[in-house]
Chains A and B, each alone.
Chain A
Amino acid sequence: MNKYLKFGLPIAAIIGTLGWLAAGGVRDSGTYYKTIAEVNKMGQDTLEKRIRVGGDVAPNSIVREGKDVKFVLMQDQLRLNVVYSGIDPLPDTFKDGAQALADGKLGPDGVFRASKIQAKCASKYEAKPSMAKPVNPNS
């Protein structure tokens, strides 16, 4: 057998398999970034899509009901009701006013069913000095 063929076939097989796995992986876990405005406009046909939606947690909206956690995401005047029922504990940074990302699907009743929540503290590792402005000592 030709030497190129001898090495080419297994290499092609490996790369082909991985490509197939990767395509399946994207299909299964591909998540669309949407804004609350876009989610509110979405029709019934998109109920199967996995969506990631971001916004601020509305103050005093977090309610624990057994395993579920209900809250409202806000972006300007728009609001979105979210129910979280994942197994992972909610991040410590998840609290009133925090920026949060919810992964999940939109239910037929317009309530967003999240399976994963990521929260960002308003100030991440970097804090924005609110009361004072930095100045360069060289200037």
Chain B
Amino acid sequence: MENIGSLAILLAFCFAVYSVVASIAGKWGRRPFLVLSAERAVYCIWALLSTAAGILIYALISGDYRMTYVWSHSNHAMPTIYKFASWWGGQEGSLLFWSWLLASYSSIVVFRNRRRFRDMMPYVTAILMATQAFFIILIAFVAKPFNVLEEGRLIVNVGDGQGLNPLLQYWTMVIHPPMLYLGYVGFVVPFAFAIASLITKQPGEEWIKTTRRWTLVTWLFQTTGILLGAGWAYAVLGWGGYWGWDPVENASLLPWITATAFLHSVMMQEKKGMMKVWNVVLVSTTFFLCIFGTMLTRSGVVNSVHAFAQSSIGTYFTTFLAIGIAGTVFLILNRLDYLKSEAQLESVLSRESTFLFNNLILLASCFAVLWGTLFPVISEAITGEKISVDAPFFNRVEIPIAMFLLLLTGVGPLIAWRRSSLESLQKAFMWPLLAGVAVAGTLAVLGVHHIYALVSLMLCTFVAVTVFMEFVKGASAIKQKSGTNLMTAMVELTHRNTRRYGGYLVHMGIVIMFVGFTGKAFDKDMTVEVAPNSSLQLGRYELHVGGVEEGTTENYQWSKLPVALSKNGEDLGTLEPEHRIYLAQKQPTSEVAIRRNLNEDVYLNFAGMSADGQRAVLQAYVFPLVTCIWIGYWVVFMGTLICLTPSKMRMIWARTQVVGVAEKHADIRQN
């Protein structure tokens, strides 16, 4: 079986190399059949990698412990779903997963564009397959998923495996890595289109229209992945945080930031024909940051909770990145003439300039995160001393950046294109600003003196009111014309221009998330050693601790600490934080108990028994507003889906309505 798997991977490598060569040769030599065969090779690669993945999954689920990968990441006692998830639980398997996803994406791209963009597609295929070939090199020659255990010259079969790390045995494991990978891998496609349009000297309208929706879907995957990771950390790691500025968390945030910048600046190109070079740079940066993020997790360059074992794999990634970046830079410089801007910035008070500042700020924040993440490497190279920075550095830089972005979120959508007068700004922003100041003032009077919290909540109110006013303004115009009620009018309004109002909804979701982040300023915590059957007080809550219960399952040993919770005498039920010791790995984990509520979460962690074994160590926290983060995510999710649905009225921008272009344009929209 493992021989078939390895063979499939080797064959896939040959097909990928063939596909790169054939599509370029076919394009240059004007031989369409070669190009076609290169595209067919993409489907073959998908079939081959699916075979390899199928074999690995079968081995994981059936428990074929002759294989090194299965032995190190699975065992009998694990539930089947985690055996399946072990596919991406380790280095080799996750690289196979990456390759397989890329093959799937490539097949979709090739299939959907089999009759379109005939001049560009050979290059798109070549770039996709070059990336594919690189990842197959890794699983074919460096991190092989199909190695078997051997002693002397004999293949040995051990009875049971080591199992997946207990911290990973949580339901999010099944969905968080795939989401992030879908995000990481998906950004390859816009990059391939951007580069192909550069090579074929197209001005850039085509690739942007084709890939906007693709980028949006990928962005949504990435957002989902990051938020699932945050939710996982919150519910499993026992310290109650959802973001720790860990290098690997940062690695997933970096391409997300540049992709967000791209989704905004792309509007400048669509509507004004500006920022063309910038957009190519952003889309390339996003792609390279994705590769960089994948490398950071695997190479052992920086210390991280997510790191896989150290390996030589970093050299391969560095080489790939160096070649890719050099090629891209050369190509952009070479094609600068085709990327000339069609309009110029006129006024600081204009929509254009808010886009400019939005991009500047996002890029600065991306750079700060990158700098902080690589600081140990940089400082060691310069001063010879390895210095790391952690959360305080990131918080200090990123919080003001986030505040400024939040301000732009409110200002940007309302300000006029080209130039705006001060009077019109006053008219548009008076009410939102007053509402924001009123909220901050009220909170200050009520005793909130955390300065960032006040600023953040003020800005959140400001943005929320501007978005709300936009909806009401548009909807009441429709209401007057058609005589429907306001709700129906709002739905109608959104349906007429899904991109605009979907975008507003995404902004609203981000605002709700920021309210959640702001809650961090008001956390309460305590750590106590409590004897069974005693009571204690945490803020407004009373905690009645019961006796410890114990038991064993096939997979782990557990002990529970029931804690009855009440507030002002009102019974709020019992929380049961649990302490587990996984038998295969002899590793303890904590299963925290959380009482989630809209205004605040009560979070209990049973950290084990005290030294004398008589008392339980209990960590109790109150986290205000955390639920807003998850609600905000769902609003972002809905908003993005609305952006993706076609508008009822075709909003075709004036500048693209040139005779002869319109037909092609309609064709693109239908797909």
A41 at the interface (CB under 8 A from B): no
Instruction: Say whether, besides A18-B364, A92-B590, A126 and B90 are in contact (CB < 8 Å).
Output: yes
CB interface residues, A 20-37, toward B, < 8 Å: 21-22, 24-26, 28-33
What are the residues of chain A within 8 A of B309 when measuring CB–CB? 124-126, 128
Known: A22-B397, A33-B387. 7 other contacts (CB 8 A): A22-B368, A22-B396, A30-B387, A30-B393, A67-B527, A125-B168, A138-B3
Q: Which of B50-102 contact A (CB under 8 A)?
A: 68, 71-72, 89-91
Interface check A111, CB cutoff 8 A: no
- Docked-complex contact B150 and A132, CB < 8 angstroms: yes
Within B523-551, which residues are at the interface with A (CB < 8 Å)?
525, 527, 529
Closest to B9 in A: A138
Residues of B within 8 A of A33 (CB): 376, 385-388
* Shortest beta-carbon distance from B420 to chain A in Å: 14
B320 CB–A CB distance under 8 Å: no
CA A125 – CA B6 in complex, angstroms?
Answer: 23
Whether A17 is near chain B, meaning CB under 8 Å from some CB there, is: yes
CB-defined contacts of B503 to chain A, threshold 8 Å: none
Known pairs A89-B527, A92-B588; A137 contacts B308 (CB<8 A): no
Spell out B's residues near A (CB within 8 Å).
2-3, 6, 10, 68, 71-72, 89-91, 144, 146-151, 155-156, 158, 162, 165-168, 237-239, 303, 305, 307-309, 345, 348, 353, 356-357, 360-361, 364, 368, 371-372, 375-376, 385-397, 400-401, 404, 525, 527, 529, 585, 587-590, 605, 607, 610-611, 617, 619
Give the residues in chain A near B404, CB-CB below 8 Å: 14
Q: A88 an interface residue at 8 Å Cβ cutoff?
A: yes
A88-B590 Cα distance, complex, nearest whole Å: 13
Tell me which residues across on chain B come within 8 A of A88, comparing CB atoms.
239
> Can you show 23 pairs from A to B with CB atoms below 8 A apart?
A14-B364, A22-B368, A22-B371, A22-B396, A25-B372, A25-B389, A28-B392, A29-B393, A31-B389, A31-B390, A88-B239, A89-B590, A92-B167, A92-B587, A92-B589, A92-B590, A93-B587, A121-B165, A125-B168, A126-B72, A129-B71, A134-B149, A135-B155
Say which residue of B156, B165, B588 sits within 8 Å of A125 (CB atoms). B165
Please, which residues of chain B bring their CB within 8 A of the CB of A121? Answer: 165, 585, 587
Q: Given A6-B348, A33-B388, A89-B605, check contact A135 B393 (CB 8 Å).
A: no
Report Cα–Cα, A131/B65, bound state, in Å.
Answer: 13
Which residues from chain B contact A87 at a C-beta distance below 8 Å? Answer: 525, 527
How far is the CB of B163 from the nearest CB of chain A, in Å? Answer: 9
Contact of B307 among A52, A124, A129 (CB under 8 A): A124
Contact B387 A31 (CB under 8 A): yes
| Contact present for B2 and A137 (CB under 8 Å) | yes
> What is the CB-to-nearest-CB distance from A121 to chain B, in angstroms, rounded to a whole number?
6
Closest Cβ of chain A to B507, distance in Å, is 21
B386 touches A63 (CB 8 A): no
Q: Distance in Å from the Cβ of B459 to the closest Cβ of chain A?
A: 17
Q: Which residue of A lies closest to B1 (CB)?
A: A137
Q: Tell me the bound Cα distance from A137 to B7 in angstroms.
A: 10
Q: How far in angstroms is the closest Cβ of chain A from B21?
A: 24
B386 touches A132 (CB 8 A): no
- Residues 33 to 75 of chain A near chain B (Cβ within 8 Å): 33, 52, 63-67
Residues of B within 8 A of A10 (CB): 348, 357
- On A, residues with C-beta under 8 Å from B are 3, 6-7, 10-11, 14-15, 17-18, 21-22, 24-26, 28-33, 52, 63-67, 87-93, 95, 101, 103, 118, 121, 123-129, 131-138
Residues of chain B lying within 8 A (CB to CB) of residue A29: 389-393
| Beta-carbon contact of A31 and B144 below 8 Å | no
User: A residues within 8 A CB of B617?
Assistant: 64
Q: Which residues of A contact B158 (CB under 8 A)?
A: 131-132
Q: Which of chain B's residues have a CB closer than 8 A to the CB of A3?
A: 345
Residue of B nearest to A21 (CB): B397
User: A32: which B residues are within 8 A, CB to CB?
Assistant: 385-387
Closest to B609 in A: A64
Q: Which of A11, A17, A134 has the most CB of B within 10 A?
A: A134
B397 touches A25 (CB 8 A): yes
Chain A nearest CB: distance from B298 CB in Å?
A: 10
Q: Are B151 and A132 in contact (CB under 8 A)?
A: yes
- Shortest C-beta distance, A19 to chain B (Å), equals 9
Taken together as a complex, chains A and B put the C-alpha atoms of A134 and B400 apart, in Å, by 51
Determine the chain B residues whose CB is within 8 A of the CB of A138 once the complex forms: 3, 6, 10
With beta carbons under 8 angstroms apart, the residue of B147, B392, B611 that contacts A64 is: B611
- Hey, which chain A residues are within 8 Å of B588, CB to CB? 92, 95
Cβ–Cβ contact B389 & A26, under 8 A: yes
Q: Which residues of B contact A26 (CB under 8 A)?
A: 375, 387, 389, 393
Q: How far is the CB of A33 from chain B (nearest CB, A)?
A: 4
Q: Which residues of B lie under 8 Å from residue A131 when comparing CB positions?
A: 151, 158
Give the distance in Å from the alpha carbon of A88 to the alpha carbon of B525 in the complex: 9
CB-based nearest A residue for B149: A132
Q: Shortest beta-carbon distance, B664 to chain A, in Å?
A: 36
Q: In the complex, what distance in Å separates the CA atom of A132 from the CA atom of B70?
A: 14
Query: How distant is B41 from chain A, measured CB to nearest CB, in Å?
Result: 22
Most chain B CB atoms below 10 A, which of A29, A67, A129, A135: A29
Considering only CB atoms, which chain A residue lies closest to B356 in the complex? A7
A137 touches B368 (CB 8 A): no
A137 to chain B, nearest CB (A): 5
| Contact residues in B for A124 (Cβ distance below 8 Å) | 165, 307-309
Chain B residues lying within 8 Å of A103, measured Cβ to Cβ, are 390
How far apart are B588's CB and chain A's nearest CB, in angstroms? 5
Q: 3 tightest A-B contacts by CB?
A: A126-B309, A25-B393, A29-B392
Q: Which residue of A lies closest to B590 (CB)?
A: A92
- Minimum Cβ distance to chain A for residue B571 (Å): 27
**Chain B residues closer than 8 Å to A65, beta-carbon distance:** 611
Task: Tell me which residues across on chain A come within 8 A of B360, comparing CB atoms.
Answer: 11, 14
- The answer on a CB contact under 8 Å between A135 and B388 is no
